[in-house]
Amino acid sequence: MSETGTYIFCGIQSEKPIEGLSIELEGEKRELYTIHYKDAAMVAAKAPMKIYHPKKDNLMMHQKVVSQVMEQNDTVIPVSFGNVFKTDDDVAVLLENLYPQFAKLFPEIKGKIEVGLKAIGKQEWLERQARENPEISKAQKSTAGKSEAAAYYDRIKLGGAAQNLFKSLQKEIEREMFEPLNDIAVASKKNDPISEKMLLNAAFLIDRDKEEAFDQKVNEIHDKWQDRLDFSYSGPWAAYNFVNIKLTVEDG
């Protein structure tokens, strides 16, 4: 049998032990418990000491625990997937080392959730934008009827024109979507697009009592742009995009 360690899911602000939560991990039901230092705690479960690969089932298991904890606690610091320590004492040392960061973060994320919004251009709309763009039309005409070698520099210009169009669309989306939502949010972050047609990939940290107003603004944006864009609106999540903590146990 493999050695058993302590898998940690998230940090919370609480002096009381967490109760009544469990998760299926590696084919077994495992009770969740907390390891404490002052008013901070790590939510953990006993699990085999091994490398946990970020497969869909494993990631969903991790996120499910964090979501369950968020239902019971309004100050949750997310921990990245797959962190297993040898003992509870190691986690206690980690938590003591991290406590100055936790103490600073607790008031910043208390009562707040993260939501994500992605906007992806529909193929027909993007193609229409390209057809109606003078710079692209001019570059296309320059390549017409030429051999591949003769049109080499014209094709470079065409690629540049397409990039310029995409950047202008991204700026429009930022003005129409990101900025109005940013006005409601406590904080926001623009992440890199993860597909060729993605015009916005953003995360927002919002107060729970502003969630309804934020949802309403997203719905307004969706209604205005739904014939041109596909939307992916996700959450609530813990503040993954707004917390940056390195998990290390100091020696000595």
**Is the pLDDT reported for residue 132 higher than 80?**
no
Task: Write down the mean pLDDT value for the chain.
Answer: 84
Spatial neighbors of 104 by CB under 8 A, at least 6 apart, are none
State residue 252's pLDDT score: 34
| Cα 219–Cα 243–Cα 101 angle in degrees, nearest 5 | 145
232, pLDDT greater than 60: yes
Residue 251 confidence class, pLDDT cut points 50, 70, 90: very low
Percent of the chain whose predicted confidence (pLDDT) is above 90: 54
Give the pLDDT mean for 31-56. 90
Give 249's pLDDT tier (boundaries 50, 70, 90).
Answer: very low
Residue 248: what pLDDT?
54
Q: For residues 197 and 120, is the Cβ–Cβ distance under 8 A?
A: yes
| Average confidence (pLDDT) over 73-99 | 92
**pLDDT at site 151:** 45
What pLDDT was estimated at residue 25? Answer: 81
- CA 70 to CA 212: how far, in whole Å? 18
Query: Where does the chain show beta strands of DSSP type E?
Result: 4-13, 22-25, 28-31, 33-37, 40-48, 76-78, 84-85, 112-121, 187-190, 198-207, 229-237
| Structure confidence at residue 145 (pLDDT) | 53
pLDDT at 153 over 50: no
pTM across the whole model: 0.79
Give Cα separations from 205 to 148, 166, 220 (angstroms). Answer: 49, 27, 19
More confident residue, 245 or 40: 40
User: Between 153 and 77, where is the model more confident?
Assistant: 77
With bands split at pLDDT 50, 70 and 90, how would you rate the model's confidence at 168?
A: confident
Report how far apart, in Å, the C-alpha atoms of 131 and of each of 55, 125, 163, 186 are. 41, 10, 14, 39
